[in-house]
C-alpha cells in the first residue's frame, strides 16, 4: 500500500482542488529514493535497498474534517457551506422530526405495539447533511440507521409508521421487519437485513447510471463500521474503483457494531484508510457536524459525477442502543454515552448554528418539537387501526407471475383457512 | 475465492481438454442432437459455446442496457462463450471484473435494480458459493421484500457446471439443488446448443432473476443446426424427448443424453419403450409434464450428477409419489452422484452413467 497511497494522493490532489483534507497520507521515506519504477505489472513502485516493514503507524491518521465547533460556531469562515435558509431549516426540522419518531416508536416497541425498532440518536447530522447535498434523483442504498435521509427525501411519517406496523398501506405489504423501509418514487432502494449486501449492488446501480447518455444521477451507499468488515464491502470498494462508477460509499463509523467496539472490528486507521488503498477518493468527516457532512458530500457528488468514486467516513457515536433487542449498558459505560450526548450532539450543534444566524429560537424549537411529536402520535393511532394486508399477499411478488406450485399452495391455504379460521388472527387482516 | 492455481493450471488443461472431451469421455455419454427445429428459418451449425455466444450477441444488439461481465470475460471467457463480443460492443458493455464472486453477483443485482439487463458469468458453478448470499438473500427476495417496488429481474447468472472428465472437486459440481430451495429464483439447465440459445434468451428476457447452469462438457462436444434468428423456449416447461409406456426417465443437462441411451438400450435389450423427459427448468419445475408421464407409465427413474441426498431428484420423487400414488407400480428410483465430493481419478465410478441407470431401470421394470 506504500506507494499506492502516495500515487492516489497525487491523483487526488489534482482532482480535488477544493477539499484540503481529502487525503493526508504521507509518503513513507522508504519510497523516496528518486529511482524510477520497476517493471512489475502489479505496482508502480521503485526499488529500495533498505528493508522497512510498513504498518498503520507508517502513516499519519486521516484527520477529521469539521466546519462547526461544538458550540455551533464556524471555525474557518472560508469553509462555511452556502446553503439556502429554507434548506438549512429543513435539515434541522428533519432532525427534530427524526428524534421525535425515534422517541415514540422506541417506547411503542417497549409497550409491545410494534415488534422491533432501531433509533438514530447521535447520527442525525450524517443523515441530513448528506441528504441535503444530493439530488433527489440520486439513488440511495441504505443499511438501516438512516431514517433521517428518508425523511429528508420526503418519505412521510405516515409511510414510515405504516411500515413499522406492517399494515395494508405499507408498500412493502408487511413482509419485512420494522425499519426496513423503501420508496421507489424517492429512489430509496428497499432495505434488507443482511449487512453490506447493498454495497456491491450500489456500485452496480451506479454503473447502470453511468451508461445512460447525459447521466445526471449518482448513487450513495450507507453502511456502518461493522458492515465494512464484510466481504461485500471489499468487493464494492474494488469494483467501484476498477469500474469507475459514479458512487459515494458513505460509512457511518459510530464506534460500535452491536456490542463490538471498533478495536475488535479493525486495527488499521478506521475505514477511511482503506479508500486510497483501493484507489478511491477518500475523506473523513465529523459526523456530528451536519455542515461538514454537507460539504464533503457536495464535493463527493461532483467527483462521483465524473465517474470518480468516493469513500466518506463520518465519525460519530451511537448514542442509543443498537436496537430494541439490545441493552448497551451491558458493554459500555453510561458516562461515555452522556459525554457524547452533551458535548457533541449533532442536533444541538446545528440548532446553535441556526440561532447564531438568527434563523431559529427557543420558541420555534419548542413549537416545532411539539408539532413533530403530535404528528407521530396521531399517525400511530391511525396506523394501529388499519388492517394488515390480505393473507394472500404472503405468496404474491415471489415471482413476477405466480408459478403453478405457488398457486397450488395458495389454494391449499385457502381451503385450510375455511376449515380452521378460528385458529388464525384473520380479523386483523384485510378480507376479499 | 477462486485460486490462482485454478486459473493457471487446471483451467488451461480443462480448456484444452474440453476440445477433446468427446473422444476422452465417449464412455460417459453420447450426444443426441436435437432434430426438431424450435423455430422456422435459416439455421447454421453451432456448438453450445457458439449458441450461447449467439444469444448474448442478439441481446447486446437489441437491448442497449445489456452488459456482460465476469472474470476473464473481456477476452472472450475461459470457455470462449463471450468471444468477440467486447470488440463488437465495447469495453463498457463486455468487461472483466475483479476476481470476486460475491461482488459479481451483487454488482449484477444492482445493475438490474437500476433497470439494466445484467448477464453475469461465474467462471465455474463450483465458485458460485461466495455469491450464495447475494443470490439467495438478495436477488431472490428483492421483489418480494419491496412489495414489488423494486426487482432485479434483469439479472441472469451464467455458470459452467457438471462433470467434465477430470475436473475434480471444484470444476465438476452441479449445485442446482442448493438454489432450488430459494423461492424467487429461476434455475435452468440446457441439454445442447438449441436449448441453450432459446433458454438463455428466455432467462435474459424473463422478469425474474435466473441462474443458468451450462453443462461445460457440451460446450464443444455438442453441435447441431441452430436457428440464427432470436427465439425463446418457455421457462418452467419440461420437454418429452422420447415416448414409451414402460417407465418415465427424467434428467437435465448432460444426463439427458445418458438417459436417451439407456432408453435405447432398454428398447434393444428388454424390448420396452420409455418416456424420456428433459426437465430443463429446475425452479419452478414442470410438475404437470412429469406427473402425466408417470400416471401413464407407472414407473419413474430420476437421474442427476449431483449427490443423491437432498439432490433435486428428492423433490421430484416426493411430488411424484404424492401426485401419482395410485398409479405407481414400483418405488421411484433415483440414480445420482454418490454422497461424496466429486473425485478426480474416480470420476468413472462416481457418475450415474448409463450402466448404473440401465441397471436401476431393469430393477424398476422387474419390481
* Active site (annotated) includes residue A322: yes
The average pLDDT across A44-68 equals: 95
- CB B114 to CB A397 under 8 A? no
Q: What is the pLDDT of residues B287-324, one digit of tens each?
A: 999 999 999 999 999 999 999 999 999 999 999 999 99
Q: What pLDDT is stored for residue A119 in this prediction?
A: 95
pLDDT per residue as tens digits for the range A214-231 = 999 999 999 999 999 999
pLDDT at B16: 53
Strand A188-189 relative to strand B333-337, pairing? unpaired
Q: Do B103 and A171 touch (CB under 8 A)?
A: no
Q: What does the pLDDT look like over A328-386, one tens digit per residue?
A: 999 999 999 999 998 899 999 999 999 999 999 999 999 999 999 999 999 999 999 99
The answer to whether residues B34 and B45 touch, using CB atoms and an 8 Å cutoff, is no
Active site residue A323: yes
In the beta sheet, which residues pair with residue A247? A219
Q: What pLDDT score was predicted for residue A36?
A: 87
Closest residue in A to B235 (Cα–Cα)? A403
pLDDT band at A14 (very low <50, low <70, confident <90, very high): very low
Please tell me the distance in Å from A149's CA to the nearest CA on chain B. Answer: 18
B101 noted as active-site residue: yes
Interchain contact, B114 vs A192, CB within 8 Å: no
C-alpha cell at A389: 394486508
Q: How is B183-212 classified by DSSP, letter by letter?
A: BTBEEE--SSHHHHHHHHHHHHHSSS-EEE
pTM over 0.80: yes
Q: B118: which chain A residues are within 8 Å (Cβ-Cβ)?
A: 204
Specify the pLDDT at position A432.
79
User: How far is B232 from chain A, CA to nearest CA, in Å?
Assistant: 18
Chain B residues close to A397, C-beta within 8 Å: 143-144, 147-148
Tell me what percent of the residues of chain A surpass a pLDDT of 70: 92
Check CB contact under 8 Å for B103 and A173. Answer: no
How many CB pairs below 8 Å do chains A and B form together? 156
Residue pLDDT, tens place only, A294-334: 999 999 999 999 999 999 999 999 999 999 999 999 999 99
Position A153 scores a pLDDT of: 97
CB contact under 8 A, A211 and B116: yes
Alpha carbon separation from A279 to A11, A244, A275, A282 (Å, rounded): 10, 10, 6, 9
pLDDT in tens, A379-405: 999 999 999 999 999 999 999 999 999
For residue A82, pLDDT over 90 is answered with yes
| Minimum Cα–Cα distance from A181: chain B residue | B146
| Grid cell listed for B199 | 433458454
Give strand ranges (E) for A186-318.
188-189, 219-224, 247-253, 256-257, 260-261, 281-286, 310-315
Separation of CA B150 from chain center: 27
pLDDT string in tens for chain B (367-residue length):
445 545 555 555 555 554 444 444 445 899 999 888 888 899 999 999 999 999 999 999 999 999 999 999 999 999 999 999 999 999 999 999 999 999 999 999 999 999 999 999 999 999 999 999 999 999 999 999 999 999 999 999 999 999 999 999 999 999 999 999 999 999 999 999 999 999 999 999 999 999 999 999 999 999 999 999 999 999 999 999 999 999 999 999 999 999 999 999 999 999 999 999 999 999 999 999 999 999 999 999 999 999 999 999 999 999 999 999 999 999 999 999 999 999 999 999 999 999 999 999 999 999 9
Reply yes or no on whether the pLDDT at A6 is more than 50: no
CA distance A153 to A135: 9
Q: What is the pLDDT of residue B14?
A: 52
Give yes or no: A416 in active site: no
Of A171, A204, A206, the CB nearest to B147: A171
Q: Which chain A residues contact residue B145 at CB under 8 A? A: 172, 175-176, 180, 190, 192
Amino acid at each position: 500500500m506504500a506507494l499506492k497511497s502516495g500515487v492516489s494522493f497525487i491523483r487526488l490532489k489534482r482532482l480535488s482542488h477544493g477539499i484540503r483534507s481529502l487525503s493526508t497520507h504521507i509518503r513513507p521515506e522508504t519510497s523516496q529514493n528518486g529511482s524510477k519504477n520497476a517493471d512489475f505489472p502489479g505496482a508502480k513502485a521503485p526499488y529500495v535497498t533498505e528493508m522497512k516493514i510498513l504498518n498503520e503507524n507508517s502513516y499519519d491518521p486521516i484527520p477529521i474534517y469539521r466546519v462547526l465547533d461544538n458550540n455551533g460556531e464556524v471555525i474557518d469562515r472560508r469553509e462555511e457551506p452556502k446553503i439556502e435558509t429554507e434548506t438549512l431549516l429543513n435539515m434541522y426540522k428533519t432532525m427534530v422530526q427524526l428524534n421525535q419518531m425515534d422517541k415514540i416508536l422506541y417506547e411503542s416497541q417497549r409497550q409491545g405495539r410494534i415488534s422491533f425498532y432501531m433509533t438514530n440518536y447521535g447520527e442525525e447530522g450524517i443523515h441530513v447533511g448528506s441528504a441535503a447535498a444530493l439530488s433527489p434523483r440520486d439513488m440511495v442504498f441504505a443499511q438501516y440507521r438512516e431514517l433521517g435521509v428518508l425523511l429528508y427525501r420526503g418519505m412521510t411519517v405516515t409511510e414510515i409508521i405504516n411500515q413499522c406496523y406492517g399494515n395494508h398501506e405499507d408498500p412493502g405489504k408487511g413482509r419485512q421487519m420494522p425499519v426496513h423501509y423503501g420508496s421507489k418514487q424517492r429512489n430509496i432502494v428497499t432495505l434488507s437485513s443482511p449487512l453490506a449486501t447493498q454495497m456491491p449492488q450500489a456500485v452496480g446501480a451506479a454503473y447502470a447510471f453511468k451508461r445512460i447518455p447525459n447521466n445526471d444521477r449518482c448513487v450513495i451507499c450507507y453502511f456502518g463500521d461493522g458492515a465494512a468488515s464484510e466481504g461485500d464491502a471489499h468487493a464494492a470498494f474494488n469494483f467501484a474503483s476498477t469500474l469507475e462508477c459514479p458512487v459515494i460509499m458513505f460509512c457511518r463509523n459510530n464506534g460500535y457494531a452491536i456490542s463490538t467496539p471498533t478495536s475488535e472490528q479493525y486495527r488499521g486507521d478506521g475505514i477511511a484508510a482503506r479508500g486510497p488503498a483501493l484507489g478511491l477518493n477518500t475523506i473523513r468527516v465529523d459526523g456530528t457536524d451536519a455542515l461538514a457532512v454537507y460539504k464533503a458530500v457536495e464535493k463527493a457528488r461532483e467527483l462521483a459525477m465524473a465517474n470518480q468514486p468516493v469513500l466518506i467516513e463520518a465519525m460519530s457515536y451511537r448514542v442509543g442502543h443498537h436496537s430494541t433487542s439490545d441493552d448497551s449498558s451491558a458493554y459500555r459505560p453510561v458516562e461515555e454515552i452522556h459525554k457524547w450526548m452533551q458535548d457533541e450532539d449533532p442536533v444541538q450543534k446545528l440548532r446553535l448554528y441556526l440561532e447564531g444566524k438568527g434563523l431559529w429560537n427557543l420558541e420555534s424549537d419548542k413549537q416545532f418539537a411539539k408539532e413533530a411529536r403530535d404528528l407521530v402520535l396521531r399517525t400511530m393511532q391511525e396506523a394501529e387501526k388499519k388492517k394488515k394486508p390480505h393473507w394472500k399477499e404472503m405468496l404474491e411478488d415471489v415471482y413476477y407471475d405466480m408459478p403453478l406450485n405457488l398457486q397450488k399452495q395458495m389454494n391449499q391455504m385457502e381451503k385450510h383457512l375455511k376449515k380452521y379460521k378460528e385458529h388464525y388472527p384473520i380479523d386483523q387482516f384485510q378480507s376479499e | 475465492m477462486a485460486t490462482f492455481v485454478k486459473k493457471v493450471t487446471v483451467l488451461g488443461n480443462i480448456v484444452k481438454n474440453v476440445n477433446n472431451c468427446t473422444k476422452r469421455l465417449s464412455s460417459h455419454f453420447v450426444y443426441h442432437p436435437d432434430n426438431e427445429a424450435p423455430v422456422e428459418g435459416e439455421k447454421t451449425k453451432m456448438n453450445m459455446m457458439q449458441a450461447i455466444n449467439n444469444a448474448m450477441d442478439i441481446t447486446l444488439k437489441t437491448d442497449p442496457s445489456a452488459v456482460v461481465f465476469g472474470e476473464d470475460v473481456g477476452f472472450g471467457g475461459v470457455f470462449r462463450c463471450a468471444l468477440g463480443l467486447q470488440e463488437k460492443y465495447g469495453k463498457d458493455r463486455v468487461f472483466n471484473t475483479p476476481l470476486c464472486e460475491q461482488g459479481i453477483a451483487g454488482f449484477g443485482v444492482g445493475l438490474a435494480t437500476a433497470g439494466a439487463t445484467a448477464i453475469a458469468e461465474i467462471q465455474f458453478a463450483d465458485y458460485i458459493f461466495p455469491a450464495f448470499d447475494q443470490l439467495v438473500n438478495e436477488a431472490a427476495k428483492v421483489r418480494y421484500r419491496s412489495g414489488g417496488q423494486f426487482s432485479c429481474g434483469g439479472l441472469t447468472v451464467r455458470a459452467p457446471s457438471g462433470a467434465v472428465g477430470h475436473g475434480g472437486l471444484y470444476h465438476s459440481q452441479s449445485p442446482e439443488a442448493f438454489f432450488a430451495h430459494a423461492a424467487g429464483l429461476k434455475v435452468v439447465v440446457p441439454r445442447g446448443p438449441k436449448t441453450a440459445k432459446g433458454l438463455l434468451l428466455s432467462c435474459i428476457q424473463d422478469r425474474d432473476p435466473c441462474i443458468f447452469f451450462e453443462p461445460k462438457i457440451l460446450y464443444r462436444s455438442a453441435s447441431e443446426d441452430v436457428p440464427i434468428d432470436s427465439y425463446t423456449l418457455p421457462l418452467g416447461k419440461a420437454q418429452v424427448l422420447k415416448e414409451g409406456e414402460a417407465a418415465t426417465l427424467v434428467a437435465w443437462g448432460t444426463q439427458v443424453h445418458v438417459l436417451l441411451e439407456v432408453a435405447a438400450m432398454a428398447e434393444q435389450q428388454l424390448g420396452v419403450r420409455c418416456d424420456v423427459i428433459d426437465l430443463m427448468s429446475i425452479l419452478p419445475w414442470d410438475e404437470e409434464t412429469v406427473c402425466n408421464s408417470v400416471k401413464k407409465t407407472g414407473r419413474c427413474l430420476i437421474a442427476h450428477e449431483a449427490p443423491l441426498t437432498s439432490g433435486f431428484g428428492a423433490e421430484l420423487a416426493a411430488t411424484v409419489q404424492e401426485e401419482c400414488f395410485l398409479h405407481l407400480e414400483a418405488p421411484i428410483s433415483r440414480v445420482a452422484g454418490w454422497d461424496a465430493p466429486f473425485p478426480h481419478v474416480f470420476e468413472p465410478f462416481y457418475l450415474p452413467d448409463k450402466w448404473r441407470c440401465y441397471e436401476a431401470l431393469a430393477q424398476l421394470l422387474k419390481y
